[in-house]
């Protein structure tokens, strides 16, 4: 098969364009932001679950605290009433003794209840702190998500532009090359991992990076420059510099 030197050079240019399209397309599919966003979404879902549980716990301990406050108030009320009767002066000596005993019992009870209330208050504070921490983590994750989305969008726009540019270059270049040569190139490219044409650099095929043996090199040197060469190893079209 023969092709003009200009066609062969254009084929190498076409290969550069196709390689650039292939690289940009691969980058588009494997942008790290996609994986990072998936990880953020997993963490956000876990955080939402934690928040639901922490808020339920806060509601529970807040109810406990209210109950405890009511208990303390009711004991305090009874003590106030007893103390009023005690200082009222109308009670009999036996009643006075009973009242004093009851007040002492109530005071002990009140102290116990207040200790319990303090413990619950600490639980409420801890639950509030937990909710706040989860919310702040969530905010941080959402901020990161936003940044990643912007970065992803920018990267996609940039790569889409690159692909569109290279495709338009391709559209302009292809009609300048002989159709038969393009056909061979496309077939080889489909089987050659996207590389259909490579330069012959020294005695090395730039497609498979293997050295061409001395006998074959001698044969190549004797061939007309319009003769289309193929690498014996990878079958790619070889273009002499």
Contact footprint for Zn ion (CB under 5 A): 205, 207-208, 231, 233-234
Closer residue to Zn ion (CB): 181 or 234:
234
Phi, psi of 207 (to 5 degrees): -80, -50
Closer residue to Zn ion (CB): 58 or 196:
196
Closer residue to Zn ion (CB): 196 or 207:
207
CB of 188 to Zn ion, least distance (A): 10
What is the Cα–Cα distance from 102 to 75, expressed in whole angstroms? 11
CB of 199 to Zn ion, least distance (A): 10
Closer residue to Zn ion (CB): 29 or 221:
221
Closer residue to Zn ion (CB): 58 or 231:
231
In whole angstroms, how far apart are CA 131 and each of 49, 56, 125, 138? 11, 10, 10, 10
CB of 45 to Zn ion, least distance (A): 50
Closer residue to Zn ion (CB): 61 or 205:
205
Residue 49 corresponds to which tokens in the numbers above?
């679950």
Distance, C-alpha 151 to centroid of its chain: 12
CB of 230 to Zn ion, least distance (A): 9
Distance, C-alpha 240 to centroid of its chain: 46
CB of 24 to Zn ion, least distance (A): 24
CB of 193 to Zn ion, least distance (A): 12
């Amino acid at each position: 098969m023969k092709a003009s030197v200009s066609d062969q050079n254009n084929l190498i240019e076409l290969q550069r364009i196709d390689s650039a399209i292939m690289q940009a397309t691969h980058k588009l599919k494997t942008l790290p932001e996609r994986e990072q966003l998936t990880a953020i979404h997993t963490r956000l879902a876990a955080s939402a679950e934690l928040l639901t549980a922490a808020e339920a716990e806060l509601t529970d301990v807040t109810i406990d605290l209210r109950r405890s406050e009511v208990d303390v108030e009711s004991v305090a009320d009874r003590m106030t009433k007893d103390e009023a009767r005690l200082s009222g002066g109308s009670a009999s000596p036996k009643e006075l003794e009973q009242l004093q005993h009851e007040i002492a019992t109530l005071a002990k009870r009140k102290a116990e209840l207040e200790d319990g209330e303090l413990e619950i208050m600490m639980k409420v504070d801890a639950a509030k702190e937990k909710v706040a921490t989860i919310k702040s983590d969530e905010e941080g994750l959402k901020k990161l998500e936003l940044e990643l989305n912007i970065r992803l969008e920018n990267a996609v726009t940039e790569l889409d532009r690159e692909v569109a540019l290279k495709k338009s270059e391709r559209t302009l270049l292809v009609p300048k090359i002989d159709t038969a040569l393009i056909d061979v190139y496309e077939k080889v490219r489909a089987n050659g991992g996207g590389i259909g044409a490579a330069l012959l650099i020294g005695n090395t095929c730039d497609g498979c990076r293997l050295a061409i043996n001395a006998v074959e090199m001698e044969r190549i040197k004797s061939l007309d420059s319009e003769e289309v060469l193929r690498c014996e190893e990878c079958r790619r079209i070889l273009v002499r510099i």
